[in-house]
Structure formats: C-alpha cells, structure tokens
Amino acid sequence: MRHRRCFGSAMSALAAGLALWPCVVTAASDPQPAQNPASHKNSLTAAEDEATFQIDVLTTKPLERGELMRGLQRLVEHRSIVIPAYRFENDLCLSVAGLETGQVEAFKQRIWRNASDAGLRVGGKKCQTNAYVMVVDQPEVLFNRLMKRRRDLFGPLRFRDVTEDQLRRELREGRPAVAWSRLTMHNPDGAVIDELGVLQAQRPRPSRLAHPTSMAKLISVVIFDANQIDGIELTKIADYASLHLLASPRRTINFAGEDDLARIPTILSLFHVGLEAAPSDLTLFDRSYLRGVYDAQPNMLNNRLNFSVTRACRKLADDLAITDQEASDKTTP
C-alpha cells in the first residue's frame, strides 16, 4: 500500500527526538511515538497498518551458490576472519519512537517477526530495551544529544562496532539512516567478559573453527531521517531496520558500481535503486543471511559464516517451494 507520507511532515527534531527525551532513551520502558497534529490527515489508521504488514513472499528467485557467496562478500561487513559475526544473544526488546500512534505496533510486529524467523527470541513486556529505532527530522541534532546524555547507548570504543567519527561523517553526508551497536564479550560457556576484560568464568576450548570468545550485541540503534523516507512503505523501513538491528551489513555498499549486486535482490538497496526497483520486503538473501547468523555457533569464526548462510538459504528455498506448491494445489480445480 502506497501512501503520501507515513511520518509527520512537520515533525522537528525537538518535537520528535528531544522533547520526547524520557521516552526515547529510557532503557527499561517502551516509548510512545511522537504526536504531530498537523500530520494526522496523512497518517495511516491502525487497521490500514495491520493490513499493510500482512504481506508474505509467495514466490522467490533461486540463488546460485556463487551469487550467494558474492552477496555475502559485498553486502556483509568486512572484518577479520577471527572475529565472530555480531548478533544478539539476549532476547530482543524493541523501542520505536517518532512514528504515528497507529503505526508503532505494526512496525514492531514486523521487526519481531523478522527476529523470530531468524531464530532470535522476543522479550516480554517488562524486558529491558536493547534495540532502538528513532525517526526524526534532524538526525544529527538527536545524535549529539544522545552523545551527551546517553553514553550508555555507545559504550567504550573497543566495545562498539563503529567509531564516533564514522557516524558523524555519515550524518554529515546526509544518509537516510545511520546505525551502530554496542557490544559485549562472551566466552564459550556464555559468561560475560566485562569492559575491563575481567572474565567471570573460563574454560579453555582450543578450536580451529571457533574463537575462544564471541562479541555479542548489547544494544543496537538505527536512526532514520524522516525527510528522506517520506512515502516509503513502512514494511520496507521495518525490514531495512531489521537487518541493521539484528546483524551487521556493510555500512557502505556501491550498488551502482558493482554489476553482480544487481542480480542479488536485497532490501539493503532501498535507498540506492529507487522505491519501485527495491524489493517489497526481506528477500531470500536477506532472510538467509539473518538465519545463518543466528543458526551459527556464537563464537564461530567469521569466515565460517558462509556455510551457515548457505544451509539456511537451501532450507528457506525448500520451504518456499513447498509453500508455492501448496498454494498452487489449492487454486487448481
């Protein structure tokens, strides 16, 4: 469903991000969305939101193994092979701020479904927030305020997946979305290694396939520029946020310069190929990537991720083929 604008057009950073400060940044509470009376005429109703988010993929384009491998190489964040892929180990506890009242729940439901499909559990009503989505007119203003008042969303540099300078460059470039994660370290037994490097419990476990520790996501944040996502379906925004919240796609992807990427449908292309050309939701590649990340062992080396993603892709493709066949059988007289 296409609509004129799903976010308040007059929503300023002070109204949506800073005036709502206690809601946006309270880790233990679930924030309420910003209200903008001037934009109610363009907002979706709750019923329309629910209908919009009940879209499932019934057909899919098979991916060859070579295409899948090239997609992983060019779409997934490049790190040392001895660093495990980042993911949440704790239940997902989501907070969304800056959307219309009737859109927040449907937006959350979409991300929760993506997390559940990937294999990540969703927390209960009293869980502590570890995933934030914020939609504001002036992302840089909000970012500066967060840096001053909520340093706990960033953590020390060695426990962060991106530097402050890189985030500021992306904001100055005017990107539609910026994302980062605060990390924590675990050993194979699941014991936490704190920011001082103190390990609660340790059991040596030498392996050529697994690292003795794993870096898990403690907090993940995505900030959208409301002015640049005007008119985009909420399903696409939620799916784009899901990939950045739950996993670690590359921060900079040159879709125009990589011919091979044109053959790999992904929601990551949302702001590069145009609204009409972008996928309607998570593609087979996107779902395989997320499932592969959460199916893998927590401390599996990054260069082993491709095996986990390949298995997930094969399983998802088989499941989708069965779904397509069942749908065909029901429509056949």
Which residue reads 């069942």 in tokens? Answer: 326
Per-residue pLDDT, 223: 98
Report how far residue 241's alpha carbon sits from residue 142's, in angstroms, rounded to the nearest whole number.
18
Report how far residue 131's alpha carbon sits from residue 27's, in angstroms, rounded to the nearest whole number.
9
Report how far residue 188's alpha carbon sits from residue 199's, in angstroms, rounded to the nearest whole number.
12
In degrees rounded to 5, what are phi and psi of residue 298? Answer: -55, -35
What is the CB-side half-sphere exposure of residue 130 using CA atoms within 13 A?
22
Per-residue pLDDT, 171: 97
Per-residue pLDDT of the chain in tens (333 residues, 90 and over written 9)? 443 344 443 334 333 333 333 333 333 334 333 333 333 333 333 334 443 444 344 344 566 777 777 777 777 766 666 666 789 989 999 999 999 988 999 999 999 999 999 999 999 988 999 999 999 999 999 999 999 999 999 988 888 889 999 999 999 999 999 999 999 876 655 555 555 555 544 455 555 555 566 778 999 999 999 999 988 999 999 999 999 999 988 888 777 665 555 567 889 989 988 888 889 899 998 999 999 999 987 766 667 778 888 888 888 888 776 554 444 444 444
Closest CA relative to residue 240, chosen from 286, 289, 180: 286
Per-residue pLDDT, 252: 80
Domain boundaries, the chain: 13-331
Per-residue pLDDT, 209: 53
Closest CA relative to residue 309, chosen from 118, 179, 53, 172: 118
Which residue reads 């927030």 in tokens? Answer: 129
Structure tokens at 37: 């009376």
Euclidean distance between the first and final Cα of the chain, in Å? 30
Helix pair angle (101-118, 234-246), 10° resolution: 50
Read off the amino acid at residue 44.
Answer: L
Beta bridge partners of 199: 193
CA distance readout (Å), 114 to 120, 277, 317: 9, 22, 16
In degrees rounded to 5, what are phi and psi of residue 183? Answer: -110, 160
CA distance readout (Å), 12 to 76, 98, 108, 119, 240: 33, 10, 23, 37, 23
